[in-house]
């Protein structure tokens, strides 16, 4: 199973360019960022929309992981591919032309189904996809040439030296496990046996790290990017690194106390909704940041979920390591709010955990020790 590599991502960025304001592409489709036409919540991009650079990068990562890599993996050519350059070139191709580029009824799918050599098919079919708005576009000609060059390029050492495959046994695996354990321990997660055997537990732990550090997950191994970030984290970690379940500045309140935590927020808004637990730990630094967010947004912020006792968290289907359990997380109802502005200001103020649940009516914010973003 291959993954999008750095060369493929750079190819996409070079041809798409980054636009922080919505515009019409040469095919007359409203586009923004690195070629995004539909936001993660399903809303179509409109001319004049505005986003930040961080959002542009986020949308590209989301689309590559949740859409375009899948288009290639679901096609009949995927089982023929031999390396990440071939895979990445085809992901760039479908990022530009859409799912139909490698699926029924187009020629690539039919010719592969008829048993033709996949390299010959790619070499002959990609150059045909150069039309936009009914006319041949020089930019698409150059892009197809670049994709073919990547497709037929041998995989260099930079693409292989740092990758670990499922069931690999080596000293490199053992060191990776030791480095990953630094992160797992700091976040109060189960550590790995550093036995030098990369099994399913190591893969699951590395994917957990990948999700929390905005890298692409994978099914059969560890990417060079994830391995490098794990190593960097382990080298920079210190004994004072906050534990996952230890908020920096928490206070324990009793259920029912009449306490105004800040100018606009009362303890009752943060209380666990189970109706039974007594102690309510609340991270006061999180409250300070929330108050600052309320002031900059200039409108009331309605909390739909804050502290959850372990029982209530389990009953509502929360993650076992949810930040709600330690009292430094809130879910904010977006309603008629501009959720993109809310997220942008939350990041600026210092919220480090961002959960994108806007399609379900909320945005999750927390103050965990390390930055992490995800979608529900």
pLDDT at 145 over 90: yes
For 353, phi then psi, to 5°, come to: -105, 120
- Active-site positions? 16
Reduced to 3 states, what is the DSSP secondary structure of residue 135?
Answer: strand
Q: Which two tokens stand for residue 281?
A: 């730990």
CB atoms within 10 A of CB 240: 5
Give the mean pLDDT of 133-154.
Answer: 89
- Out of 150-164, 210-224, 343-357, give the one with best mean pLDDT: 343-357
pLDDT 10s digits, 319-364: 877 889 888 999 999 987 899 999 999 999 999 999 999 888 999 9
Model confidence, pTM: 0.46
Helix axes 6-16, 138-151, angle to 10 degrees: 170
| Count of CB atoms situated within 10 Å of the CB of 7 | 21
C-alpha 212, offset from chain centre: 8
249 pLDDT higher than 60: no
Domains of the chain in sequence order? 6-158 (1.10.530.40), 162-236 (1.10.101.10), 250-375 (3.30.1380.10)
Q: Let me know: does 94 contact 102? Beta carbons within 8 Å.
A: yes
CA 130 to chain centre: 31
Q: Are 374 and 356 in contact (CB under 8 A)?
A: yes
pLDDT at 27: 73
| 90 — pLDDT class (breaks 50, 70, 90) | very high
Phi/psi of residue 26, nearest 5 degrees: -55, -20
Torsion of CA 74, 76, 79, 82, to 10 degrees: -100
User: Is the CB of residue 152 less than 8 Å from the CB of residue 17?
Assistant: no
Confidence at 1, pLDDT banded by 50, 70, 90: low
Residue 60 pLDDT exceeds 70: yes
Task: Please give the angle made by the CA atoms of 139, 143 and 148, to the nearest 5 degrees.
Answer: 150
22: helix, strand or coil: strand
Q: For the chain, what is the radius of gyration of the CA atoms?
A: 24
Q: What is the DSSP letter of 76?
A: T
Tokens encoding 277: 């637990």
- % of the chain with per-residue pLDDT over 90: 33
């Amino acid at each position: 199973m291959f993954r999008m590599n750095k060369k493929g991502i750079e190819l996409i960025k070079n041809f798409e360019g980054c636009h922080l304001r919505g515009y019409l592409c040469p095919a007359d489709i409203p586009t923004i960022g690195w070629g995004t036409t539909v936001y993660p919540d399903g809303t179509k991009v409109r001319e004049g929309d505005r986003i930040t650079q961080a959002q542009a990068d986020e949308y590209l990562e989301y689309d590559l992981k949740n859409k375009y890599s899948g288009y290639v993996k679901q096609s009949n050519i995927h089982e023929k591919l031999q390396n990440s350059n071939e895979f990445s070139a085809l992901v760039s191709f479908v990022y530009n032309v859409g799912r139909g580029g490698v699926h029924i009824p187009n020629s690539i799918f039919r010719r592969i189904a008829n048993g033709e050599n996949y390299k010959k098919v790619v070499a002959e079919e990609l150059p045909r996809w150069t039309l936009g708005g009914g006319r041949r576009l020089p930019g698409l000609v150059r892009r197809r040439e670049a994709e073919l060059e990547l497709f037929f390029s041998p995989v260099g050492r930079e693409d292989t030296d740092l990758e670990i495959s499922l069931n690999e046994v080596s000293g490199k695996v053992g060191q990776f496990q030791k480095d990953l354990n630094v992160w797992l321990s700091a976040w109060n997660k189960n550590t790995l046996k550093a036995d030098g055997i990369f099994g399913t537990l190591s893969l699951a732990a590395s994917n957990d790290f990948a999700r929390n550090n905005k890298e692409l997950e994978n099914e059969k191994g560890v990417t060079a990017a994830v391995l490098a970030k794990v190593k960097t984290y382990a080298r920079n970690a210190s004994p004072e690194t906050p534990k996952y379940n230890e908020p920096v500045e928490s206070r324990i309140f009793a259920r029912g106390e009449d306490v105004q935590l800040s100018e606009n927020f009362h303890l009752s808004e943060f209380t666990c909704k189970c109706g039974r637990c007594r102690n309510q730990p609340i991270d006061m630094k999180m409250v300070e940041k929330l108050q600052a967010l309320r002031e900059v947004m200039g409108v009331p912020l309605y909390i739909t979920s804050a502290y959850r006792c372990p029982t209530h968290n389990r009953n509502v289907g929360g993650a076992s390591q949810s930040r709600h359990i330690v009292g430094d997380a809130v879910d904010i109802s977006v309603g008629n709010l501009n959720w993109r502005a809310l997220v942008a200001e939350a990041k600026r103020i210092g919220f480090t955990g961002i959960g994108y649940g806007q399609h379900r009516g909320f945005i999750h914010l927390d103050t965990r020790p390390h930055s992490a973003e995800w979608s529900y």
